[in-house]
Structure 1
Amino acid sequence: MRDRRGWIAPVAVGMFALAIGLVLGSGPLRTALIGSLGVQVDSLEDQVAEAELAADQANVTNDYGDEWVDATAPQLLGTTLAGRTVAFVSVDDADAEAVAGAQAHVVQAGGTVAASVTVESLWTDPNQSAFRAALAPQLASSISGLDGTETVDQVFSQALAQALLPGTADPAAESAGSGDEADANAADPIGPNEEDRGAVLWALLTDAELVSGTRTGPADAIVMVAGEAPSDAGESSLQVTANLTLIGVFAGYDAPIVAANGPDADDDLVASVLADAAVLAPRVSTVTWIDTTYSQVTVALALREQFDGWVGHYGPGEGREAAPPPIEP
């Protein structure tokens, strides 16, 4: 026969532990044993509940704000970009939805999206530097205004600028000869030669897979939108340098330029532009938080302001405005 004494002790211990648990669940003994910890837990639970409520309220406010901006955008924008053509250039895996939203508001303002371009990773891939070095001289022969001292980044940037902005104060214009040809170019700022060269450069860039996207014709303004920089420090440095080179080349043309990105980050596109107080900041308008409806509308207004000869910096942060001033009729 089995000895039942072997299981009496475990059962007794289990019942005792259960009793202790029930006692500690509430009452003075619980307070005596855990002291103020229970009060702290209750306080933290209250704080969590308050934070959840605040987050819900913020979401409602944000959603309502987006709806309000969408509803009033037609009145805000009017026909401020009527007859204007804009090229969008995305770098660093820019948020495609944000870019599409900004493009929609440009169209809403009467403008046309002449190009929607993505700069591909091949542009800066450290493993493809030999390929880029071999390709640059081939592109250079189709680019006007070069003197042979340009870096590979500068050659590619000039190629893209002339592909998108043919006839907008081409760097070769100052060195162009005088006479009938010069007079004809002055009368027709986007002549057949410039547009042909732009189409050729676009074909060369896309065939080389340096860029992708669409180009339906020449643009007279640029919006450059950046995503997050690569996490790898080396790749990030290459990307920052390439972005600065590209925006700097764009700024050398007689065309409105707007740089935009998401929330502020060190060395992002907007920060790089603002850090260049001597050249880029007085020339290139900037917009942050491009993933919001507010900023997407601001891009269109900043373009209009640039066409009027003014530069502004918009979005949250010190030294920036909430939005451009109203457009005067």
Structure 2
Amino acid sequence: MIDFRYHIVSIVSIFLALAVGIVLGAGPLQGEIGSTLQNEIAGLRTDKADLNEQLTTARAGTEARDSFLDAVSGRVYGGALRDRTVAVVVMPGSDAAVSESVTAALGTAGSRVTSTTTVTEDWVSTNAKTVAARDEVVGQVATSTGVDTSSGSAAPRDLLLATLLARTAPAGDDGPDDSTARTGLQALADAGLVSLDAESFSRADLVVVVSGTVSDGDSSARTATAQQWVALASALDARSRGVVVADDLAAQADGTPVLTVLRDTAAATREVSSVDDAGSPLGVASVVFALVQQDGGSAGQYGLGAGTDAAYAPVPASAATS
């Protein structure tokens, strides 16, 4: 058995070791330890200064690049969408700066923005009372405008809005005339489902969807809501000559971006294009060129995030040689 004297010896040994450590640290090793720590701190300060300098240089380079792209944007994509009409659809949780810059670029590209429609959260609400009221309005507007919302797999409300805003071709389209479509959109606005800005309205050839981030609910609920917004984008694509979904993922708040869910939906990405850096001049140019690509019957995913085909949309031959 271990007797009491063994415990005494063990305790004494521990205190002796502590005492020796204190003596050495305060004596012969003090200078060496202090010097080592000071050198390491000085090295870390130097590294931090170097990294800050590199960051400043990188930011200056990015700002210079963006300024240059802004200055030459008119020459790069001016006229790329000449004789085309575009409807802008804005989703909840989107960045107003993206809407503004994209709308300005569409004008520079020679297109006419026929309407800007902001869709409210009630459009995808699952609240029973909201759903009942929404569906009643959708049914009434579909009847008054002569829009068939029973065809296809899309939700009737999505088919209705897509048909009122866009057309598949200037001739041969079976949707309502512009005046009837405008009246139907106003009815949806009066019901609080959308808000409409359209001084000179007509149904458009192409559509830009400015998407946002879904922030309410847990992860699965947010994804489900985002999937409903993706379904709207797909319906708009089916009833037009093409759709580009634009967002600036780097500037978005916490939540589930609709654009990210779109890129996770294979059926949608085969038809709908997206640009994830539309807050930058490079991304804005990609929106324009992606619309040109959509008008030609192709789709692609562009930007700096995950799931892209390239950093920017293909430059049309006319723009590359102008």
- The bucket for the TM-score relative to the shorter chain is 0.7 to 0.9
CA distance in structure 2 between the partners assigned to 1:164 and 1:158 by the alignment: 10
1:223 maps to 208
Superposed CA offset, 1:212-266 (max 9, x none): 2412312111111222220532652343132122112112213211012222799
Distance change in 2, residues 1:168/1:130 (3 Å):
same
Distance (Å, rounded) in 1 between the aligned partners of 2:152 and 2:80: 40
2:190 to 195, 203, 207: 207
Q: Distance in 2 between matches of 1:129 and 1:36?
A: 69
Corresponding residue number in structure 2 for 1:244 = 230
Residue type of the alignment partner of 1:310: S
Q: How many Å apart are 1:272 and its aligned residue?
A: 2.5
Please say if residues 137 and 188 of structure 2, whose CA atoms lie closer than 8 Å, have aligned partners that are also in contact: no
3-state DSSP of counterpart to 2:94: coil
Alignment map for 1:59-78 (pairs within 5 Å): 59-78=59-78
Shift in Å, 1:310: 2.2
Contact residue 273 and residue 280 of structure 1 kept, 8 A? yes
Displacement, 1:320? 1.8
Structure 2: state its 5+ residue gaps.
Answer: 1-27
Q: Deviations over 1:23-82 (max 9, x none)?
A: xxxxx9974564633333222222221221122111111111111111221121131111
Give yes or no for contact 1:159–1:201 (8 Å, CA) kept in 2: no
Superposed counterparts of 1:14-25, under 5 Å: none
Normalised TM-score (structure 1):
0.75
Q: Is the 8 A contact 2:247 2:275 kept in 1?
A: yes
- The answer as to whether partners of 2:263 and 2:307 remain within 8 angstroms in 1 is no
| C-alpha spacing 1:138/1:206, structure 2 compared with 1 (3 Å) | closer
SS of 1:309 mapped into structure 2: coil
CA distance in 1: counterparts of 2:32 and 2:317, whole angstroms: 72
Paired AA for residue 207 in structure 1: D
2:312 is aligned with 1:323: yes
140, 147, 151: which one aligns with 2:150:
147
Please state how far the C-alpha of 1:207 moved relative to its aligned partner. Answer: 0.9
Match for 1:274: what amino acid? R
Aligned to 1:275: 264
How much has 1:155 moved relative to structure 2?
2.8
Task: Give CA-to-partner distance per residue, 1:171-202, whole Å, 9 cap, x none.
Answer: xxxxxxxxxxxxxxx966477x4324311221
- Counterpart CA distance in 2 for 1:33 and 1:328 is 67
> AA paired with 1:130?
K
Distance 1:204 1:157 in 2: 15
Q: Tell me, in whole angstroms, the C-alpha distance in 2 between the residues paired with 1:295 and 1:272.
A: 19
**2:23 match:** none
Percent sequence identity is 22
Contact 1:168 1:190 in 2 (8 A): no
**Separation in 2, partners of 1:204, 1:287:** 31
Q: What is the rounded CA distance, in whole Å, between the counterparts of 2:295 and 2:270 in structure 1?
A: 14
Q: How far apart in 2 are the matches of 1:31 and 1:118?
A: 69
Number of aligned residue pairs: give it: 280
Query: Structure 2 CA distance, aligned partners of 1:137 and 1:307?
Result: 34
Q: Distance in 1 between matches of 2:165 and 2:171?
A: 20
User: What value does the CA root-mean-square deviation take over the aligned residues?
Assistant: 2.9
Take 2:66 and 2:111, find their aligned partners in 1: how far apart are those partners? Answer: 22
SS in 2 for 1:80: coil
Cα deviation digits, residues 283-317 of structure 1 (max 9, x gap): 11111111111101110111112112222221124
Output one character per residue of 1:118-176: Cα deviation in whole Å (capped at 9) or x when no partner: 222333445x441232331332233222239988xx233223212211x437xxxxxxx
